[in-house]
Structure 1
Amino acid sequence: MTIWIDADACPVKDEAERVATRHRIRMVLVSNGGIRPSQNPLVESVYVTSGPDEADKHIASHCQPGDVVVTGDIPLAAKCVAAGAQVIKPNGEVLTSANIGMALATRDLMQDLRSADPFRQGGGRPFSKADRSRLLDQLDRLVKAVL
């Protein structure tokens, strides 16, 4: 089992590392660079070439059934769910085959709304301590379910 982290904009790398350490699970941070490597022997950093979706492509092509992927990228989440991995957003929301279609549709709708109104600002609520706590709880549950 591996915990894959879409690391470029992930606000919960430290929390995921705590869960990986507690369960002695390999964790891989995938990014375009600029992420400080962890001293934890269970944590590996993979740097992909810069470019759109290179980290996503790497995670999607390497995740397997039984792995857990932490990402806020809905198209990546859909690919990982299709590959059999468990997927969790940084706010603790678990994405499954039962809800990924709705998440993709909502993402596409919001993207269309934003492009139709270039003056539309904002993009949802800010990341909170409750989100961080929910991620810790849900990630721990996912890991225990797979183990």
Structure 2
Amino acid sequence: MSMSVSRRRVVVDGDACPVKAEIARAVRANGATALLVSSHAHVLKPEPSVEVVTVDASDQSADLYIANVLTNSDILVTGDYGLAALGLARGSAVLTPRGKEIRETDIEGLLEQRHFSARQRRGGVRTKGPRAFTEEDRDRFQQKLTTLLRGMQEIPNV
């Protein structure tokens, strides 16, 4: 019985991801690959170690594509908590573009907060959006992604 080894991969919800350049640098430096998934509305360019997949612009197309290709040896980069929940269910590590690792113990509360905020907005309440993305966020993301990539063991496929 032969065993092959899968390479570490970072799967990226690419439409609104502010850390694409950091991901490309990290995967090249750590012998991994990245898969950026985006809609036709966002043109992303492939580069060494970075594959780009473009899906149609319909709502949730990128999320559905990502959910169908994720494995337990992937790191998912997304700010979408619904997609994060799908990633966790697939056994993937999940990291936000701000460098926060989302774990199983976090996701229920994050989804409840998302639902509560959406319900308030539908009721006419103005809710605050996310704070501005900073260089500290970028640095924290780069450090956390590098740590995750270095900590991942090559996973044998039987």
TM-score by length of 1: 0.93
Moved segments of 4+, more than 2 Å:
33-36
Shift of 1:36: 2.9
1:39 to 47, 50, 55: 47
- Distance in 1 (CA, whole Å) between partners of 2:67 and 2:76 is 9
Superposed CA offset, 1:11-41 (max 9, x none):
000011111011111100101123231332x
- The answer on 1:95 being equivalent to 2:98 is no
Aligned to 1:123: 129
How many pairs are equivalent? 145
Between Structure 1 and Structure 2, whose CA radius of gyration is higher?
2
Shift of 1:140: 1.0
Task: Give the gaps of 5 or more residues in structure 1.
Answer: none
SS at match of 2:37: strand
Shift of 1:122: 3.7
2:62 to 36, 48, 55: 55
SS at match of 1:132: helix
Aligned to 1:136: 142
- Distance in 2 (CA, whole Å) between partners of 1:25 and 1:124 is 30
**Overall identity of the aligned pairs, in %:** 32
Q: Which residues in structure 2 correspond to 1:8-87 (within 5 Å)?
A: 8-33=15-40, 34-40=42-48, 42-87=49-94
Q: Which amino acid in 2 is paired with 1:39?
A: E
Shift of 1:110: 1.2
Please give the root-mean-square deviation of Cα atoms over the aligned residues, in Å. 1.3
Aligned to 2:5: none
* Higher RCO (C-alpha under 8 Å, 6+ residues apart): 2
Bigger strand fraction = 2
- Distance in 1 (CA, whole Å) between partners of 2:14 and 2:130 is 20
Superposed CA offset, 1:89-140 (max 9, x none):
101111111111111111111111222225x154131111111111011111
